[in-house]
Each structure stands twice: as C-alpha cells, then as structure tokens.
Structure 1
Amino acid sequence: MAPTLAVFKLASCDGCQLTLLDCEDELLALAGEVEIAHFLEASSAVRPGPYDLSLVEGSVTTAEDAERVRAIRAASRHLVTIGACATAGGIQALRNYADVDEYRRVVYARPEYVSTLATSTPVSAHVDVDFELRGCPVDRRQLIEVITAFLAGRKPDVPNHSVCFECKRRGTVCVTVAHGTPCLGPVTHAGCGALCPAYHRGCYGCFGPSGSVNLPALIPLLRRDGMDERDVERFLHTFNATAFAKELER
C-alpha cells in the first residue's frame, strides 16, 4: 500500500500550498508514489487518517485551530510544518505586540462576532513537530526534498546556513559592503537562492533565523547604514517577527 500524504491549512494565505501545486511535474511523479489522502487546495476527495506524512500550513490563531492541530498530530505518523506562519506565527504574529481587542474594534463592524486568540503562534507551540520548513512561501525544491525524505525514511537535506552563503554561491556582490544597503542576509536561513540581493535589495528575512544567528552584532551595522531604533524594529517585525524576537532575547 502506498504511503499517505495529507496537507492541512490553519491561518495563512495558502501560498505554501500553492508552492506544492506549482511543482507540476514533480507533483505528478510524487502522486504516482503516494496516496494524497487530504489536500483540499487540490481536491475535495478526502480519506480519513491515519496519515504517514502531514504538512501543516498556517499559524494557530483561534481555539479551534489549537484543537484541530492536536487532532492532526494524533492522526499523523510524521508532521511537518511549512512556511513562516506555521513555523514562527507569520506576519499575523504582529498581533502579539498589540491590543487585539482594539484591532477588532477598528477593523470589524461587528467585532463581537469575531472569535480569536490574543496571539498567533507556531504549530510547535502546541504539538510536537518532526520538521520545520521555513519560508514565505517555502522553496519548492526544499519542499519536495522534505516530502521525499520523510517518505523514504531519511533526514531531509535542508541546509541551516545563512543567505550570505547563497550570495557567495551565485557570485552576488554583497549589497551591504558595496552599497551600504541594510540586509538581514547574515542572520536569515537560506532557501530563497538570495533572490533579493541578486536584484540589489537587502534580504528582509522571509526564511527566518538561520542556524547561527548573531543579531547583536548585526544591529550596529543596520544603524550604520541609516536605520534608527524604530527602523530596526520594523525591519525585524515582518514574516518571522516572533522568531527574530526570540533570538534577541537569548
């Protein structure tokens, strides 16, 4: 019997699921080796668990999310979180630093109908996770590598170094050294192929912290390149705000 793959969504934009759908030829080959038992973005056909591998996109922002992710964990032999929302709470985790009740009053005409938690948290804050694949969205090559690795019973070959390594690999001139452009590349997890620096823009951290992060050393460089304290705070508070905040607390 073929192993079963399930894909689930919590609070997110669907971008990481769309990355899987965008794999096209690779996805067709994968579909021949596994049974896609639950993937509502692709098909309404659903088979109940247990599942050999479950991918979860999105953060936990409601009590229902928390209950649901526990049920997914119980039905999954392996659980992998995909994307910044599932691994770090996502951009919606900016609520963690604000008054959510005020947000509801300002945004919604009938805020009493909106049920939400005060925080947006990663899946790993609620259940055990076998692997976290970062990115906003995730990289398609890394996603296929993680799926095939778990189905083959081996460890995923996903490097934990920084974006700076990818700049060196593709021969991109350092935007900070050459142009004084603020860049989070030295502290950001590789996976994007150093896309932004290749177009003369600084990395803004969409893959979250790398395996070796030294934010206290980077922040003076950001200030040297024209950022004040508020600018630095905003620079770090994007897709992976809570992950970078944890690094600052260490």
Structure 2
Amino acid sequence: MDEPTLAVFKLASCDGCQLTLLDCEDELLALADRVRISHFLEASSAVEPGPYDLSLVEGSVTTAEDAARVRAIRAASRRLVTIGACATAGGIQALRNFADVEEYRRTVYASPEYIATLATSTPVSAHVDVDFELRGCPIDRRQLLEVVTAFLAGRKPDVPDHSVCFECKRRGTVCVTVAHGTPCLGPVTHAGCGALCPAFGRGCYGCFGPSGSVNLPALIPRLRSDGLDDDGVRRLLHSFNGSAFDEEVPP
C-alpha cells in the first residue's frame, strides 16, 4: 500500500504556521515515517505532483493569483485543511477590508501602479470547499498534530470549540477581567493557546478567532465598562481575526 501524501502550501502569510509544523521536530520525524511529504517548500525544494491525500494551506487570498492557485490546490487535494488566522479568517491583512485599499497602496508603495491586489483579504473557505479549519496565530502544534493524524487515520479531529475562559479555569488562572478590569476577548475566543495571555495578566487578543458560541452583544458592554470606547472596542476586535469578529458595535 502506498504511503499517503502530504502537501503544505502558502498564500499571503508570515510563514508562522508552517514554522509551527517544522518546530514539531521529533513528532515531524515520526510523521515522516508514515506519510510522504510531497510538497513543502518551507522544508524542501523537492516537489511531487498531486493528487495529494492531505493538503495544508496557510495564508489568505489577497490577489487574483492567490484565488486561482487555491482553486488548483483544491482540485489536487483529496482533503484540504486551512491552518492559521490568515487562512481561516483573512488574517491581520484583512484590516484592509475596513479601509480604502487604494489609499493604502498609494501611501505605502513608491510605485503603486506595480502592485496588483484585491480590495479584500479573505479566508480560503470563501473560495473553495474546506474540510477543516485549524485556527490560531500561529496554530498550536498539539492541535496541528491531532488534525494531521486524524485525517490520515480517517477520523474526525478532536479539537474542542470551547472558549479561552475554559482554559483559564482549567489551569487555575484568575480572571483578569473580574479581578483587574482588564479588557479580554477570552469569552468569545476559540481555545487552543492554553490561555497564554491571561496567565501573564494580559487580556486575550483573540488570536484563535471566534469560539463555537460567540455572544459579542453581551461582551461589548463589559469591554466598555472596562474602559474602552467604541474605537477601542473596534481596535480590539479588528486584529488577528478582524473579519471573523466583524460585527457592528451597537450604539
């Protein structure tokens, strides 16, 4: 029986999620014994043609070339999993979705006429069917290994969709909002980071995107009572997963 094939692709991103895979080190070596890594330019220039049994895609769609490329990746992949905030929600570059991208282009680039880009940064799922979305900025290595091994074994990944608050309680972290009045997105953010920021006395920034049950209308008044005005609330929500948290702040 032939080994299953694994491919890793990059669109518009910082490469951080691919580096998470490389940082698995010993686990990656064990994985390499079970699969054939056919396409992973971050690790090797050797490339084999598809079809691929499992493709991991990092990065958002920000150009027409990205859109065409992700369609080609989907066509060559039996299973496609998006990894990281860019691929699942448009990423930090989706801040352009709330502004004038032409103004950005004129301001940032000396020769803007050479820059070809879309007006928005969108997740891969806005363009093709996706079999699973693994959130995070960057993703968590334990969740990544679970997703990869699950798909190779033909089962559903065991990645809970509860909030960061659950992780705070599990590790015994005092709630920074209740104890100190610190603005925190933990109640609406997908778990996976181990509640890293609250453990160090900082509010959650929403790196892992919305959890399975999000109630922003209930959270926003609390953020206001913790000292944020409407602009501060928007800034907090419009960061790593801005488009995923895109909901009008009520007056």
Aligned residue for 1:141, secondary structure, equals helix
TM-score (norm 1): 0.98
Letter aligned with residue 184 of structure 2: C
Q: How far is the alpha carbon of 1:180 from its aligned partner?
A: 0.6
Q: How far is the alpha carbon of 1:248 from its aligned partner?
A: 7.0
Is residue 212 of structure 1 aligned with residue 213 of structure 2? Answer: yes
1:204-224 C-alpha deviation (Å, 9 max, x unpaired): 100000000000000000000
**Structure 1 segments unaligned to the other structure (5+ residues):** none
Q: How far is the alpha carbon of 1:247 from its aligned partner?
A: 8.7
Show the counterpart of 1:121. Answer: 122
Written as runs of structure 1 = structure 2, the 5 A alignment for 1:186-205 is: 186-205=187-206
Written as runs of structure 1 = structure 2, the 5 A alignment for 1:67-78 is: 67-78=68-79
Check conservation: 1:215, 1:247, Cα contact below 8 A: no
Check conservation: 1:213, 1:247, Cα contact below 8 A: no
Check conservation: 2:230, 2:249, Cα contact below 8 A: no
C-alpha distance in 2 between matches for 1:140 and 1:214: 28
Is residue 57 of structure 1 aligned with residue 58 of structure 2? Answer: yes
Aligned residue for 2:55, secondary structure, equals strand
1:100-157 C-alpha deviation (Å, 9 max, x unpaired): 1111111111101000000000000000000000000000000000000000000000
1:137-191 C-alpha deviation (Å, 9 max, x unpaired): 0000000000000000000000000000000000000000111111000000000
1:26-68 C-alpha deviation (Å, 9 max, x unpaired): 0000000000000000000000000000000000000000000
Change (3 A) 1:248 1:147: farther
Check conservation: 2:83, 2:135, Cα contact below 8 A: yes
Letter aligned with residue 64 of structure 2: A
Check conservation: 1:37, 1:46, Cα contact below 8 A: yes
Paired residues, number: 249
C-alpha distance in 2 between matches for 1:96 and 1:184: 21
Aligned residue for 1:77, secondary structure, equals coil
Q: How far is the alpha carbon of 1:238 from its aligned partner?
A: 0.2
TM-score (norm 2): 0.98
Check conservation: 1:135, 1:208, Cα contact below 8 A: yes
Aligned residue for 1:242, secondary structure, equals coil
Q: Which runs of 4+ in 1 moved over 3 A?
A: 246-249
